[in-house]
Structure 1
Amino acid sequence: MKSIVGDPPCLLICGQTYTAKATILNRILNEQILRITNCSDNSKSWRPLRFRFGAERRSALTTLTDSFELLNGDYNPGTNWTVLPQRDVEIRQEDLSDPCTAQATTEVTLNHPLLATKVEIIVAPHNCPDLNITRLYSQYSSRMLPIIFYGIDKDYLSQEEQRELLDLRHLASDLPLLFLDCCPHTESPARHSQVDDDLGEDSAYDSNNEDLVARSVEDLESHNQGASSPSPRRPSRFHDIVHGQLRSLGFLTDPSEVPVFKGGMTPTEDDLHQSRLEKLYNMQGILMFVRQVLQLYLTRATTVLHDLHLQCMNMFITTAFDMQRDIQITPRRIDYARQREMELFESLKDLANQRQEEIRKLIQATIQDLKEPLLQEAENYQFEDLEISLDGELSQGKEIKGCTTQIQELVLNRVNKAVVDKLISSVDYLHDSFVGTLTRCLESLEKGEDGQQGETSASMALKQILNSAYQVEVTVRTSYSFVKVIWERMKEILQSMKPFKAPPIVDKDWKRKVAINLLNNLDESKLAKSICSQFRSRLNNSHDMFSSSLRQLENKHSGRLEKTEEQRMKVRKVHAPRLARLALDSTSLRDMVLYGMPKLEREIGRGQYGVVYSCRNWAGLTSLAVKSVVPPDDKHWNDLALEFHYTRSITEHERVVTLRGSVIDHSYGGDGCSPAVLLIMDRLQRDLHVAIKAGLDFPGRLQVALDVVEGMRYLHSLGLVHRDIKLKNVLLDKRDRGKITDLGFCKPEAMMSGSIVGTPIHMAPELFSGKYDSSVDTYAFGILFWYVCAGHVRLPTAFEQCANKDHLWSSVKKGVRPEKLNVFDKHCWELMQACWAGEPGDRPLLGEVQIKLQEIHERALDARLKMTKLRDLAGSKQAKTEDKGRPREV
């Protein structure tokens, strides 16, 4: 886009021969800059030429890449010439020894009005393998905007020329080409030979020879006159061969499909990419092609700019939706986490309080199942850090206590693990019910603003709640009764007081005996009580920790959501309107470049914010309506830009009026006045208000109501709320099918500010509070449906009594609604009552409304069919009666 705006245009002249290129250049500049002699010139090698604006005529050899002038002792830049000297154009044999000179470009400066507009002309080289057209295009297209001409002065294109065109098309695939039919030179070769022999090789280019200059100008004029007359080439052969070759290469379409540019016509969007074939003398066609390519460049720039605006605008709307969802869903997530954790806590606490007896039985059964495997494991247990002989004798008698302790630890560890596993199985169902959703909810709440996981104290507390069953411990103190502990301690003291008592042999029997003694002395009741006590203690601690963490999390999100709401309001009130206005400017500029200003005809309507005119055709479309809006200030500009964006972004739907384009008329009202925005849309026959006054029958009105519901459902599916559903905003086509129009108040829910907009009689009560959603359209449809069923456009009696708008709003908030008329049947009255219910949650969904409307519509069609049959039957009976009353002819 930057290159299109900043780079100058460049006319790139290519062709089959040097003669064709020279002819095109002379025709464009309207003077003979290059001499055209005979066909022998086409066998020579000619340099690329670059024509630029300059105060005086000057030519010099320069490098192709950076335009550095070459200094050559044998060459002096020419300044005093009329026709470009041949030595500046031709590549001679001696030039081939120097690569710089052989590949040099002749840069020419001319004081010409075309070049004064910063346009440059590049003539492609001829017979230069190292300087082909593809290299030339690649070099200049990076810093200029090429407009490509291709001269044809033969009856066919050679294989090499076809390959050259295909290479050029590959490089410039998105650019059209103008093929120019260049008439051949009409002078005889003998005359040229005689001139060359008499005057020498360079004398024809000598500006001091006035006779030759005059003769050259006369030759150019006679050539131009000859070009406007029938060409000596056979037209049928040229048309059949060259045109067929260009079609096969993909440049041209069928001749009957190629439009001919005429004065005042504007190319369509498809025309901008279409290559063309014109006669060289048709200067108007050449000018139209240049305008076409420049339009193409401008269209690309405005399209890129508009696409960028749309992308940013959609990003803002998506961001506003995300912000609104975050504001709405975060408090609900916190409440959900608090509620589910409380349910989990109560369930686990109930398990610990009420199931102690079940846990005791569970422990008893576990010990019974575990007894024999545990005794075998105790027999084979190898003591650690104790010196025991192979016979099982201890080196010191006091080490018997260490052996007993290790056996007890082995037994208690196995019992502890088995009991915990059984206990976990009793609370596993809670994992399925609570853990998944609650854990994900907490993780989403605990994510930082950068999306990374932040402090997870609440999640850790939840894990501690769920792991309470894993953390219970079985010890000797908790597993023995108090009496048994005292008795075992007394036995140990008495055993130690016996004199000369040999320590026991620590063998398998001793180990088994110790293990059996421990298992027999386990108190299941005390063990169950201890487990439940530990469970409750850890559960309470984890619950308190979770509640504290959740409060901290709630405070953190409260501050964050306040900032989010500020950002959302800034997006809605500042960024989005500004960007929407830029998008309106860019798309209006694009439509203006492509299609021009629409021609306004008679006025067909007038509203609060603009005037509607008819338009016969624009952009290839017919029967259009143009809404002219003049925004008085920035606020109205922003509102209009947002309206246009939302309307234009809607995919074409048969129940919503399509906006075809927009143009900004900056000349409206003169200097100092706000420009007018012209919104172009399809023109329809009438609105529903006029149709009801004209007597549209009841089934037809119901069909329009169904169309309105379908259009509303489509808008709501896109997240848009219309906010101004009424009779005059429903247009009817030729078949009396409805379309919703005037999306001036239509906005996404996330972009609504709670402003009070709409037509007073159709406004829902919650609109006055500023907090509303898409159900306001359902309310407005209920009022519209009242008119549909009533068959007239008079105000309801309840609303006629309201003196002003404030009185009307007050009555609506108090519950005043339109009255029931005698023509209403039960189903219609119930439907409109449901639609205009005071509470938004009590209103039906539009899908339900559509189903009920279809049933009402089917009954109305059946009733009309019956009435038609009865009318036909009554007519036939009357005809028979009249026939009986007539006297018979004898």
Structure 2
Amino acid sequence: MIDNGLINFTHFLNYILKHIDRLMIRAVSILQRSHEICLDLFNDSAFDMARDILVTPKRLSYAREKEKNLYESLVALTNSKQNEIQKLILQAVDEMHEVLTDEACSLEIPGIELTDQLTVKHARDLKKCTSVIQEQILVRLNEIIANKLLDSINVLHDNYVGTLTRCLISLESSRDDDEAELSASKALQEILHSAYEVNLSLPTNSNLFQILIDRMKELFRTFSWHNFPRIDPEFKRSVALNMLNSLSEAKLAKSVCSQLNDRIRMSHDNFETLLKQLDHRHTDRLKSTEDKQQRVRKDCTPRIARLLLESTSLKDLIQYGLPKQGREIGRGQYGVVYDCKNWANHQSCVLKSVVPPDDRHWNDLALEFHYLRRIPEHPRIVQLIGSVIDYSDSDQTPVLLIMERLKRDLYGALKSRLEFSIRMHIALDVVEGLRYLHGLGLVHRDIKLKNVLLDEANRARITDLGFCKPEVMMSGSLVGTPIHMAPELFTSKYDHTVDVYAFGILFWYICSNGVKLPTNFDVCSSKDILWSAVKKGVRPERLMDFSDECWEIMTKCWDTEPSRRPYLGEVQENIEQILNTTRTTTTA
């Protein structure tokens, strides 16, 4: 009875322990997912801020350049259209000649005193009659000319302003919520519309009106002021006909072009003023955005990443237990790699034990773990199986990263020599892996011989993503292995092209079929002297057995100017051509 009771109790205890494990795994899974969501939010916000910092100045520059082109085009168009405007005026007068005179005949003139014979009593009334008639003709003529001009000017307006308008709206939409006062974009749109939608409803003090007044003064001299004419339809027709016949199309055209230029110039000046205000606003905002981005990069993201590492490691520990450490395989600056027979249903693993010396290294390790976990399985990237934090050691707290095991690294393979075709295939594998990482927005930053592992068939995989980060999350820190580091790494401003540079150095080793340090680097007695030489343009020397094609790939990849380095797709095509040439030569 006692034995059966103990057995039943043992089964019950095991059941309770397994149930507790299941509850803990469920709780830790929720915590892990929460950390993942937070980290994704920070990464997304960092990406959005980086894009804002990069794109906004370009949008402002585009708006300024586009409006300048529009301004210059409109001025050139207006100046070139003086003869055309002159023809339009002549055409308008010819087309509306009878209509305008008929309207003048039926025009009512209020506020004048007429005799029984329909003559005016005072000279001022005669002037008033002529003024009313000329004003009526002027207004109608303005409408006709303005409508004809709009048809030609609006074509340019539509071609230019549409894109510019969208750009300005986009700039305004990125303002902070606390800047919701009068929208600059609306003001800019009003300026644009008033500037480039031509309207020639001219006031009576305009140049055009003054020209017509001068013409009418000449007309008045033809009247006899002692014998006032009858203010009948024939008189009105006569005044209208004399006015239309005395118009100077050339002077009118010149006046119209001058007014258009003045209107466009004023609107251009107003536009520039408002754009400067918008530029200042964005400059202040982007400075604040850059500070926020730095906090996300250096503070928020690393902290959440460390919490994620801890929650994920706890889940793996509950599920699979502590991995058994085998013999030492290799060691680096911060970690030791051990053999691991099996763990989490995976056979033949390796165990990388890392003891971060400080918080900064803890954060770097946590980010490495996160980015490794998020990389989908790929034949050119070493797979991360899981992680466990070993709290059993009171002196140290090692983080155990369990990864798939491969045969050897490229350093060891080149020491034993490899065939040329095998080496070219390895180079292609590395390029494929880098292209995949870059496609995910990640930059490796530490491509070298020992970070390229080979399987039984000598196919390569990239490993050790300790410095790997999304491009938008890089804070300009100086990282990497000295001889593989691009010059711009020392300026704290760099991008994914640092991996292209590092591949160029790696390709030199691959083509040399050895691990001996390039002589140009070997003569440097210290790391600082080496870095100084690299910044001055020193690169590995050309060896006798390097083909022109291989040497060209290296030199292009390690070009001092990042923008002149080739795309990895281009590098891949060039190496494939070398392989095809080798096969053809071998077959022949």
State if a TM-score over 0.5 links the two structures. Answer: yes
Q: Secondary structure at the match of 2:464?
A: coil
Give the distance between the partners of 1:596 and 1:635, measured in 2 at CA. Answer: 28
Give the distance between the partners of 1:342 and 1:534, measured in 2 at CA. Answer: 19
Q: Could you list the per-position Cα deviations for residues 342-387 of structure 1 after superposition, in whole angstroms to 9, with x for gaps in the alignment? A: 22222222233343233212221233234345556656x6748679
RMSD across aligned C-alpha pairs, in angstroms? 3.1
Q: Which runs of 4+ in 1 moved over 6 A?
A: 384-389, 391-403
Note if contact 2:309-2:366 (Cα within 8 Å) is conserved in structure 1.
yes
Note if contact 1:330-1:445 (Cα within 8 Å) is conserved in structure 2.
yes
Q: Which residue of 2 aligns with 1:734?
A: 456
- 1:659 and 2:387 equivalent? no
Give the distance between the partners of 2:21 and 2:584, measured in 1 at CA. Answer: 57
- Within 5 Å, give how 1:409-808 maps onto structure 2: 409-447=135-173, 448-450=175-177, 454-456=183-185, 457-467=187-197, 469-471=198-200, 473=202, 478=208, 480=211, 484-491=215-222, 494-495=224-225, 497-498=226-227, 503-506=230-233, 512-668=237-393, 670=394, 673-808=395-530
Q: Secondary structure at the match of 1:527?
A: helix
Q: Which residue of 1 aligns with 2:20?
A: 294
Q: Could you list the per-position Cα deviations for residues 287-312 of structure 1 after superposition, in whole angstroms to 9, with x for gaps in the alignment? A: 54443433232222212211111111
Q: Could you list the per-position Cα deviations for residues 199-249 of structure 1 after superposition, in whole angstroms to 9, with x for gaps in the alignment? A: xxxxxxxxxxxxxxxxxxxxxx59x97x99xxxxxxxxxxxxxxxxxxxxx
Note if contact 2:445-2:479 (Cα within 8 Å) is conserved in structure 1.
yes
Give the distance between the partners of 1:788 and 1:363, measured in 2 at CA. Answer: 79
Amino acid at match of 2:317: M
Q: Which residue of 1 aligns with 2:33?
A: 307
Q: Which residue of 2 aligns with 1:160?
A: none
Give the distance between the partners of 1:855 and 1:716, measured in 2 at CA. Answer: 23
Instruction: Tell me which of the two structures has the higher relative contact order, counting C-alpha pairs closer than 8 angstroms and 6 or more residues apart.
Output: 2
Give the distance between the partners of 2:477 and 2:551, measured in 1 at CA. Answer: 30
Q: Secondary structure at the match of 1:802?
A: coil
Give the distance between the partners of 2:551 and 2:329, measured in 1 at CA. Answer: 35
Q: Which residue of 2 aligns with 1:812?
A: 534
Cα drift, residue 474 of structure 1: 7.7
Q: Secondary structure at the match of 1:343?
A: helix
Q: Could you list the per-position Cα deviations for residues 511-539 of structure 1 after superposition, in whole angstroms to 9, with x for gaps in the alignment? A: 65554443323221221121122112222
Q: Which moved more, 1:679-688 or 1:614-623?
A: 614-623
Q: Which moved more, 1:568-577 or 1:521-530?
A: 521-530
Note if contact 1:411-1:515 (Cα within 8 Å) is conserved in structure 2.
yes
Identity %: 49
Amino acid at match of 1:786: W
Structure 2 gap segments, 5+ residues each: none
Note if contact 1:472-1:531 (Cα within 8 Å) is conserved in structure 2.
no
Note if contact 1:472-1:535 (Cα within 8 Å) is conserved in structure 2.
no
Give the distance between the partners of 1:392 and 1:303, measured in 2 at CA. Answer: 107
Cα drift, residue 800 of structure 1: 1.2
TM-score, normalised via structure 2 length: 0.90
Give the distance between the partners of 1:752 and 1:657, measured in 2 at CA. Answer: 22
Amino acid at match of 2:192: L
Q: Which residue of 2 aligns with 1:29?
A: none
Amino acid at match of 1:585: E
Q: Secondary structure at the match of 2:199?
A: helix
Give the distance between the partners of 2:584 and 2:103, measured in 1 at CA. Answer: 89
Label 1:386 to 1:307 Cα distance change in 2 as closer, same or farther (>3 A).
farther
Cα drift, residue 702 of structure 1: 0.9
Q: Could you list the per-position Cα deviations for residues 78-119 of structure 1 after superposition, in whole angstroms to 9, with x for gaps in the alignment? A: xxxxxxxxxxxxxxxxxxxxxxxxxxxxxxxxxxxxxxxxxx
Note if contact 2:107-2:133 (Cα within 8 Å) is conserved in structure 1.
no
Give the distance between the partners of 1:853 and 1:323, measured in 2 at CA. Answer: 37
Note if contact 2:101-2:241 (Cα within 8 Å) is conserved in structure 1.
yes
Q: Which residue of 2 aligns with 1:356?
A: 82
Cα drift, residue 777 of structure 1: 0.4
Give the distance between the partners of 1:323 and 1:298, measured in 2 at CA. Answer: 37
Label 1:313 to 1:477 Cα distance change in 2 as closer, same or farther (>3 A).
closer
Note if contact 1:588-1:664 (Cα within 8 Å) is conserved in structure 2.
yes
Amino acid at match of 1:758: G
Q: Secondary structure at the match of 1:613?
A: strand
Structure 1 gap segments, 5+ residues each: 1-220, 229-280, 867-890
Note if contact 2:154-2:196 (Cα within 8 Å) is conserved in structure 1.
no
Note if contact 1:416-1:474 (Cα within 8 Å) is conserved in structure 2.
no
Note if contact 2:46-2:473 (Cα within 8 Å) is conserved in structure 1.
yes
Structure of higher CA gyration radius: 1
Note if contact 1:577-1:642 (Cα within 8 Å) is conserved in structure 2.
yes
Label 1:377 to 1:586 Cα distance change in 2 as closer, same or farther (>3 A).
farther
Aligned length: 580
